[in-house]
């Protein structure tokens, strides 16, 4: 983790063991985590959320392109800090691990944002995509997603439902039904944002 160099990832400076507990020394990021931000300001507009989703997805592309890929395994609103310049920073790599084949790992992460394979201790890069889908749902609604369900905006929420297909593709219960990679998801996000920009100009 200390080898990672990305402007939107909190730098891991050091680690040490004391009284049989492991500690990491992380870069301090000045800002609000997204859970607190939404708690104070309410659900966020779709365009804000799409901007943030693109930033987060760019981070995942970087992590998953490492050799071997690094899976965060705890991508939640609590671990994303919004800096004063509007950029998001991913923090808390306590759960992250390098993905090696089908090795069984420990069950980590917060339940509402964890896919089934992660509960079984078999995280894959698409597990982070599931967590990103849950995070998008939280930002749009102000509510944590229901564990082990496809996240969808409902008509009773009285919110736009235009991102439901994106949410479904992220939070599909089967890995094979999600985006194949973070690169594919990033392409889809950029296409949605471009279409919305063209529509806004036309209007």
Question: How far apart, in whole angstroms, are the C-alpha atoms of residue 14 and residue 21?
Answer: 14
The active-site residue, picked from 30, 33, 47, 74, is 74
Q: How many residues does the chain have?
A: 203
Query: Is 74 one of the catalytic residues?
Result: yes
2-9, Cβ contacts within 8 angstroms, sequence gap of 24 or more: 4/62, 4/63, 4/66, 4/70, 6/59, 6/62, 7/87, 8/55, 8/58, 8/59, 8/87, 8/88, 8/89, 8/90, 9/59, 9/62, 9/63, 9/89, 9/90
* Catalytic residue set: 74
């Amino acid at each position: 983790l200390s080898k990672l160099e990305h402007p939107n990832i909190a730098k891991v400076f050091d680690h040490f063991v004391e009284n049989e507990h492991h500690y990491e020394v992380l870069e301090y990021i000045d800002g609000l985590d997204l859970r607190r931000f939404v708690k104070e300001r309410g659900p966020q507009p779709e365009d804000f959320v799409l901007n943030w989703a693109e930033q987060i997805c760019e981070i995942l592309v970087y992590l998953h392109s490492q050799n071997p890929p690094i899976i965060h395994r705890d991508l939640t609103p609590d671990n994303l800090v919004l800096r004063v310049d509007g950029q998001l920073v991913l923090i808390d790599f306590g759960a992250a691990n390098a993905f090696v084949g089908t090795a069984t790992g420990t069950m980590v992460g917060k339940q509402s944002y964890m896919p089934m394979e992660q509960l079984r201790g078999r995280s894959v890069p698409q597990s982070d995509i599931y967590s990103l889908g849950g995070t998008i749902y939280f930002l749009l609604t102000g509510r944590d997603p229901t564990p082990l369900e496809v996240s969808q905006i409902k008509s009773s929420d009285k919110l736009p439902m235009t991102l439901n297909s994106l949410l479904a593709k992220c939070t599909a219960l089967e890995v094979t039904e999600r985006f194949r990679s973070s690169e594919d998801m990033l392409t889809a996000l950029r296409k949605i944002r471009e279409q919305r920009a063209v529509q806004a100009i036309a209007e």
